[in-house]
Structure 1
Amino acid sequence: MLKEFTPEERKVVLGITFAVSVRMLGLFLLLPVLSPYLRTLENSTPMLIGLAVGIYGFAQAFLQIPFGYLSDKYGRKPIIIFGMLTYLVGSLMGGWVKDIYLMVVARFIQGFGAVSSAMIALSADLTREEVRTRAFAHIGASIGLVFAFSIVFAPVLAGKFGVPFLFYLTAFLTFLSILYLWLFIPEPKVHAKDREINPSLKNFLLILKDKNQLMLNFSIGVLHAYLVSIFTFLPYELVYTYQIPKIEHWKFYLPAVVLSLAIMVPSTIVAEKKGKFKEVFLLGVLFSFLGFLFHVLFKNLLGALAMLFMFFIGFHLLEPIVPSLLTKFTHRDIRGLSLGFFNTTQFLGSFLGGLVGGLSIKFGPSYLFGFGIVSSLLWLAITYLWFEREEVQAKLVPKG
């Protein structure tokens, strides 16, 4: 897929993919091993362990919009590099602290640099519209591969070198990504006289009233609610219902990730080159629905694995397309702010997914499956009606 990018676009896509992968690596590598490690820290309590794990996502959720707005106003690269520096500092601090209170601070500093919106906006600014979905597909594929790597190797690395090593590894890779962004990726040239919309707090209202933004925000929120709810409930189910030890779970996760990534590549090309965004989008939602439905119908390990595979296929069909569509419908002058709202909704969806998964563990899986089936049917209907709008169809005519 890289051959269709210009040399400059290739540098942009590779650099931003690396930077996003580093942030995701820091998150995914720590998730399987962080809670047991936090228990060994001074002054540790269950409540503070939960706070140390969750405060990263809290900071990310509530700072995406300010960082996105600042990237519109002051430029993408300065804001991204500042955010990556805070992530580097938080990672170094997380490696050396031995007290749970200081770890909470370190995790907040890690999450403070909420620059995902600015990174996606920078990628959109520096790539042509006709290849933008493929650029996002590279980023999405990198996240999937980082996830697969983490579930297999995080326990091994933590067991051999210790959890602090994972923090330091993340800090080092973050430093490399800062250097690459600083040296090799240009700042988009936007002059005040070229702006149609100047940075202003009034732009918040523009985005809050935009039907396209609301539809795509809803989509990314639901998609990540599914992701977190499934991965809150499914590991518990595999261990306590089917007696499969956690160390064996990667044997299910890895094939599901690899298969779904293999499907993502051609589907992204079809959506972008042939203008089949509607078909690929609806198919992604349908796979999510079928995953929940199959688990309900089979009520056994086969049903659980069907849900896993179906969900990952749906997830990777949608993950590159949803932000790409957002950049098509959002004015370039408020792209950072728009993506800030988008990513905030994504993290809020993750929070909702955690609640649904927790309720399913405590009170039974009907909470997860009821939520998944009802919301995916609603999502299918909303998506179909949205794509039928003339404004949407006009925007999605293939270019190039």
Structure 2
Amino acid sequence: MHDPHSERMSGSETRAAGGLALVFAFRMLGMFMVLPVLATYGMDLAGATPALIGLAIGAYGLTQAFLQIPFGVISDRIGRRPVIYLGLVIFALGSVLAAQADSIWGVIAGRILQGAGAISAAVMALLSDLTREQHRTKAMAMIGMSIGLSFAVAMVVGPLVTRAFGLSGLFLATAAMAVVGIAIIAFVVPPSHGALQHRESGVAKQALMPTLRHPDLLRLDVGIFVLHAILMASFIALPLAFVERGGLPKEEHWWVYLIALLISFFAMIPFIIYGEKKRKMKRVLLGAVSVLMLTELFFWLSADNLHELVIGTVIFFTAFNLLEASLPSLVSKVSPAGGKGTAMGVYSTSQFLGAALGGILGGWLFQHGGLSTVFLGCAALCALWWGVALSMREPPYVTSLRMPLSAEAVREAGLTERLMAVPGVTDAVVVADEAAIYIKLDTQILDRTTLERLVNPASSACEA
């Protein structure tokens, strides 16, 4: 038995977090590996047009968006593992279908089926079941890092695998990754002892309408929608620009993405540190959106040789990675107490819808106006996002805590009002069903230990 209050993750928690992070990474790798190659290699497929290539790039987002929250709800009823196994099998079948296809419509059908394996919510819920409260933030950060890393690896590995084995080989590789994911769930991730109801990692029906009516959360949902729309649309145009404007054969694109992602990863870190330390995340967000817009205008107006295209790609990925890393943190800060899981569910749905629209819109713009029209359309989306984000309030710099309550504390009248009067506490809600209280607090004003004594001296506070 491990100490329930230990500040170190236990062996089973480490295996759970590491194993689930790998499952996420393999699945996202399979999703993203086609991104840098479909626009160039996909035109060899029967019936391929730029508009249909765009649909194939974004198609997974449609089914992913609509099935993600329902799969999470089903996992509450029948268990996490059956849903995750089912999702990975569906993803593998979609990959095999795309691998066997000799027409663009077969690839589109495969991508739609890939997206139907929407396991994100179920994986996050299983992570909550298998980790203690005080380690959940670390475990979720591991998954976040695995997603970011898988995107970077996919940008480099996708072109290399496709060069060696063709598009069908690429899709078969993604099917193999899904099988590896099933093995990890079966043999690495430890068994859970029942589903945990936890509002910070799953969608709560009671929190859905307040989330959909929250102005700043909606601004962030618009942000991730636009960001992934721009990503998908840009990857219809950028690979073709490397070939047509830069004279770079499609087999050589991997080194551009490798350079761009390595530089951009280190370039974005000072801006995140500045935004968090100086509490200026709104300024950082608006600045990054502006840079993204200027980069798209640069691609539109003047990037007509390989040197300029590479520089533009480095700047694009710096702004993109900065926004991709910042937006989930802002959702966590802005969401009301006990509403983070629901807010993240809506946010993820917006992300996948953006990916779908971006692929479809990018392909349509390219077919009707060429490369320049795609870049100009992306710049217009950035301008729209900048206008929406401008009226956002500076986010509260708060931490989310979930504290278990004794039976007496749950019944205590006025507990939330008493806590809201404490300097540093910005929001609090008691959830009697969970015998817990969710609190948002500014740790520069109030520390957890003091808060713990105020709420429930016998219990230990735990970070959500």
1:30-83 Cα deviation digits (max 9, x unpaired): 45269968967xxx5448975766643332232223224434555544433331
Matched, 1:347 2:365: no
1:205-220 equivalent positions in 2, closer than 5 A:
205-220=209-224
Equivalent pair of 2:365/2:373 in contact (CA under 8 Å): yes
Deviates further, 95-104 or 19-28: 95-104
Match of 1:111 in 2: 115
Equivalent pair of 1:217/1:346 in contact (CA under 8 Å): yes
Which of these residues, 52, 73, 79, is aligned with residue 83 of structure 2?
79
AA partner of residue 388 (structure 1): E
SS in 1 for 2:320: helix
How many corresponding residue pairs?
A: 389
AA partner of residue 304 (structure 1): L
Superposed CA RMSD in Å reads 4.3
**TM-score after normalising by structure 2:** 0.67
Equivalent pair of 2:27/2:177 in contact (CA under 8 Å): no
Alpha-carbon distance in structure 1 between the residues aligned to 2:315 and 2:170:
31
Match of 1:177 in 2: 181
Deviates further, 341-350 or 96-105: 96-105
Which of these residues, 137, 146, 153, is aligned with residue 145 of structure 1?
153
**TM-score after normalising by structure 1:** 0.76
Match of 1:136 in 2: 144
Match of 1:262 in 2: 266
Which of these residues, 49, 52, 64, is aligned with residue 68 of structure 2?
64
Alpha-carbon distance in structure 2 between the residues aligned to 1:356 and 1:99:
20
Match of 2:315 in 1: 310
Q: 1:296 to 1:323 in 2, by over 3 A?
A: same
AA partner of residue 86 (structure 2): F
Equivalent pair of 1:39/1:49 in contact (CA under 8 Å): no
Deviates further, 105-114 or 117-126: 117-126
1:187-226 equivalent positions in 2, closer than 5 A:
187=192, 204-226=208-230
1:1-400 equivalent positions in 2, closer than 5 A:
6=9, 10-30=14-34, 32=37, 45-46=47-48, 55-71=59-75, 76-95=80-99, 106-120=110-124, 126=131, 127-129=135-137, 136-151=144-159, 153-159=160-166, 163-182=167-186, 183-184=188-189, 187=192, 204-264=208-268, 277-278=281-282, 280-295=284-299, 298-301=302-305, 302-330=307-335, 338-354=343-359, 355-356=361-362, 358-360=364-366, 362-364=368-370, 367-388=373-394, 397=442
AA partner of residue 320 (structure 1): A
Deviates further, 333-342 or 168-177: 333-342
Q: 1:398 to 1:225 in 2, by over 3 A?
A: farther
Equivalent pair of 2:203/2:342 in contact (CA under 8 Å): no
Q: 1:58 to 1:315 in 2, by over 3 A?
A: same
AA partner of residue 363 (structure 1): G
Equivalent pair of 1:95/1:164 in contact (CA under 8 Å): yes
Equivalent pair of 1:69/1:340 in contact (CA under 8 Å): no
Structure with higher Rg: it is 2
AA partner of residue 317 (structure 1): L
Identity over aligned residues, as a percent? 32
Alpha-carbon distance in structure 2 between the residues aligned to 1:121 and 1:264:
30
Alpha-carbon distance in structure 1 between the residues aligned to 2:322 and 2:301:
24
Q: 1:285 to 1:30 in 2, by over 3 A?
A: closer
AA partner of residue 157 (structure 1): A
Equivalent pair of 1:65/1:340 in contact (CA under 8 Å): yes
Alpha-carbon distance in structure 2 between the residues aligned to 1:104 and 1:377:
30
Deviates further, 212-221 or 258-267: 258-267
Deviates further, 85-94 or 215-224: 85-94
Q: 1:19 to 1:324 in 2, by over 3 A?
A: farther
AA partner of residue 161 (structure 2): A
Match of 2:434 in 1: none
Give 5+ residue unaligned stretches, structure 1: none
Question: More helix per residue: 1 or 2?
Answer: 1
Alpha-carbon distance in structure 1 between the residues aligned to 2:272 and 2:96:
37
Alpha-carbon distance in structure 2 between the residues aligned to 1:229 and 1:16:
30
Question: More strand per residue: 1 or 2?
Answer: 2
Q: Which has the higher contact order (CA 8 A, sep 6+)?
A: 1
AA partner of residue 177 (structure 2): L
Q: 1:363 to 1:324 in 2, by over 3 A?
A: same
Alpha-carbon distance in structure 2 between the residues aligned to 1:5 and 1:180:
23
